[in-house]
Each structure stands twice: as C-alpha cells, then as structure tokens.
C-alpha cells in the first residue's frame, strides 16, 4: 500500500516559559529559566523546592466557564494549546468531513490534584464529586479537544509515561500515512505539580533537591542530581500533504520518520547499553530513508538524571556511530523542567522552530560532562546552525522509547 506524506501546519504550546509557541521559543532563544520555587503546593516539608510551573494561564481565554469547570488542568492545557495550533493551521473545520479529523493527545499521569481532593472524602465518608472519574481519566484531554472543536475521527489517548507526547505524534503520523485521517491534532499534556507526584518521584530519588534554580536541572552535566518537575502542553496539527496544498496551508515541516521500541529491561531505568533507544532512532532513520550523516540536530530526552543522560548518550552513539560527535544536541528540559507526558510534544515544537530559524538553543545550567558524556550538548550558549533533519527523542518509565524525525520544507 502506498503511504502518504505528512506535514505540520500548526503548533500550540502552554509552558513554563510562556503560553504560546512564540513566547516559549523566545524564552528558549534567550536562555531564560522557567524553573523557580514551587508556588502551587506546600513543599515546606519536602526536600524538593523547585519546578517549572505554568503562570498567567486562564482557561476562560480558551473556553467558556461551564466547559472549564468540566475539565481538570491537564485537559485545559491541551485545549488551550489546540486553540493556538488550529488557529495557526487556518483549518476551516466547517468545510471538512469531521470523521476525517482526529485527535491523538495523551497524558502520562492525569489529574492527581483531583485525587488528592477526593480520596480524603472517601476516607471520611463525605460525598464524592459525581464528575470525579470523568475529570481524572487521562483520555479526557483528547476527548475534550474533540468536543470543543467537533472532531469526530480517530480519537486516542496514548499514555506511555515520559514518551507519551512523542508516541502520540508518531501514531498520528502513521494514521495519516495509512489514510485513516486527513488531519490529526496530536501531542501531550501534563499538570502534575502536586504533593503526591512530588512525594512519589522523591521516594524514587528521581528529583533534584537543589534549591538553586540555576543549578537544579543540569542535563548531561557531571554534577546533575535529578530531574525537575514541569507542566504544560504541546500540540501539533498533522496533515496529509496534498490536503494541505489544496487549501494553501503554510507548511511548517514534514514528518519523515518514526521509531518505537521497548528496552524490556527495567521499570524505571533505560537499558544501560542504549540499544533500545538507539534502535528507535535507527528505525526512524530507516523509515525516512536517511543515514546518520543526514542528522543535524537531536532534541534529547535529557532529563538531568544520572542514568538517563548516560544511557541516552550511549543510545545516540549506538544509532549514529562516529557521526554522533558532529550532531548538535540539547535539552529543552534544562529551561522548562520535565513535562512528563507533555515533554515530547513541546520538544517537537522546538524541533520545528529549530528547522525554520536555524538556531540551536542552549542546554542551560550545564557546563561540563564526564568521561562518556562527550558529545556536543550545546552547553553555555545557543548557536546558529542550518538544520535540515531534526530528531526528537523520548524515553519513558517501563522502557518505552520513541523517536520522531522532522525535515525542513
């Protein structure tokens, strides 16, 4: 079966650096830090004091009051980012077959805030909110987008921890290639800066306990001590190429490859030899008809944990061989923290802006690698570089690996 080309025609973002793609990208270019002391929950008894919080967000800017009350924050972020993405795409939904318009938007954890409110009610015998279940389940981001915009086609919620956003974009790409849809809203969202999430990740020894926002998230740095929680959403409008041409859409980039693997190794640690994530990169390149020498830039998963950064570096070397040292690599998480299910989606936005603006943003806070961390991680300062092919990597708990390849048009 002949497959179809897939392009990007719109993007939206809600992030710790701003609640639009332009504000987010400008913050990255300037090297601003979206990581700051936590204000949304009481962390007085916690060793973790910092997060990448979204500020200045009002759901009523994107939906009516009644709709906003029927969504938890992760769904609100997703709908808001979709508003921006659809507006940029110029898609007139009223002129389309709604059953050819889909949504694949995932969330890694869901509405932990609501659990924290309702579980004490169970224990005390108080009345439960009748909307408790439909508010918290992770598919409600995808469902609410469909309801808000009348999108009746393929609709899915993929939840693969920190690989969620990238898997959603990749599966949307496959669905359009195979003629299951003409347009798909795809991405990821998360709003998990909560007491339970912070306590849970702290118990895993996964979070940085540094109190200095300029030192807490240091991807690929020898002194890294854990990741920093972030929140927000990223959305892409994926569209079949000839469909976009017929309506004279502004094409931002083309999706040319997607690779998926599992380490089958451990519930939290990536495979030490990097073969799982490395094979996902190889699969994406093979699908795109590209060689390692064609890859200019990688937006790394780059969490700032000891094992992730080391094993991802090994994965890049496994996939690209000697060319690994010629590729520009960075970690967006150094400025936003880790958006979990939303991470891969905002990082896809970064890849597409990198293609169009020929600029690699810095990996903030980091300055010196260790023996095996010897690649070009864009420490200290961003730089101009022409980029033709950009790779986005995501690695999730459970061994989930995903890579999406974007190409300039």
Catalytic residues, by residue number, are 162, 301, 338
Q: Are 391 and 298 in contact (CB under 8 A)?
A: yes
CB atoms under 10 Å from CB of 245, counted, come to 13
Burial of 95-105, coded b for 16+ CB within 10 Å and e otherwise, reads ebeeebbbbbb
Helical segments of 98-248, H only: 112-124, 132-136, 140-149, 164-177, 195-203, 241-246
Q: Are 195 and 38 in contact (CB under 8 A)?
A: no
* Interatomic CA distance for residues 34 and 24, integer angstroms: 10
Residue 74 half-sphere exposure toward CB, CA atoms < 13 A: 35
Whether 328 contacts 252, CB under 8 Å = no
- Does residue 258 contact residue 176 with C-beta atoms inside 8 Å? no
Q: Where are the alpha helices (DSSP H) in 90-191?
A: 112-124, 132-136, 140-149, 164-177
Helix (H, G, I), strand (E, B) or coil at 317: helix
| CB atoms inside a 10 Å sphere around CB 398 | 16
Contact predicate 113/41, CB 8 Å: no
């Amino acid at each position: 079966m002949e497959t179809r080309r897939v392009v990007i025609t719109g993007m939206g973002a809600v992030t710790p650096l701003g609640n639009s793609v332009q504000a987010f990208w400008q913050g990255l270019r300037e090297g601003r830090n979206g990581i700051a002391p936590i204000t949304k929950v009481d962390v007085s008894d916690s060793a973790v004091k910092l997060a990448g919080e979204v500020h200045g967000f009002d759901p009523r800017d994107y939906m009516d009051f009644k709709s906003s009350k029927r969504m938890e924050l992760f769904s609100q972020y997703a709908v808001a980012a979709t508003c921006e993405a659809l507006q940029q795409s110029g898609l007139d939904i009223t002129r389309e077959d709604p059953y050819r318009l889909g949504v694949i938007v995932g969330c890694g954890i869901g509405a932990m805030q609501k659990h924290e409110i309702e579980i004490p009610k169970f224990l005390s015998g108080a009345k439960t909110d009748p909307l408790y279940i439909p508010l918290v389940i992770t598919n409600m981001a995808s469902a609410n987008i469909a309801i808000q915009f009348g999108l009746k086609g393929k609709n899915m919620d993929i939840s693969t921890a920190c690989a969620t956003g990238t898997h959603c974009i990749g599966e949307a790409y496959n669905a359009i290639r195979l003629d299951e849809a003409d347009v798909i809203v795809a991405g990821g969202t998360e709003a998990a800066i909560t007491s339970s999430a912070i306590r849970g990740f702290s118990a895993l020894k996964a979070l940085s306990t540094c109190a200095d926002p300029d030192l807490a998230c240091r991807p690929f740095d020898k002194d890294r001590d854990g990741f920093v929680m972030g929140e927000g959403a990223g959305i892409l409008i994926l569209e079949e190429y000839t469909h976009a041409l017929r309506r004279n859409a502004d094409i931002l980039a083309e999706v040319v490859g997607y690779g998926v693997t599992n380490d089958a190794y451990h519930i939290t640690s990536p495979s030490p030899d990097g073969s799982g994530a490395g094979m996902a990169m190889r699969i994406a390149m093979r699908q795109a008809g590209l060689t390692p020498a064609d890859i200019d830039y990688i937006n790394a998963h780059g969490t700032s944990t000891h094992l992730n950064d080391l094993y991802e570096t090994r994965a890049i070397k496994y996939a690209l061989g000697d060319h690994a040292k010629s590729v520009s690599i960075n970690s967006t998480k150094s400025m936003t923290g880790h958006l979990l299910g939303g991470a891969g989606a905002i990082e896809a936005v970064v890849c597409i802006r990198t293609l169009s603006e020929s600029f690699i943003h810095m990996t903030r806070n980091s300055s010196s690698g260790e023996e095996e961390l010897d690649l070009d991680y864009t420490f200290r300062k961003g730089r101009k570089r022409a980029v033709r092919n950009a790779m986005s990597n995501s690695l999730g708990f459970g061994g989930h690996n995903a890579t999406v390849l974007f190409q300039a048009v």
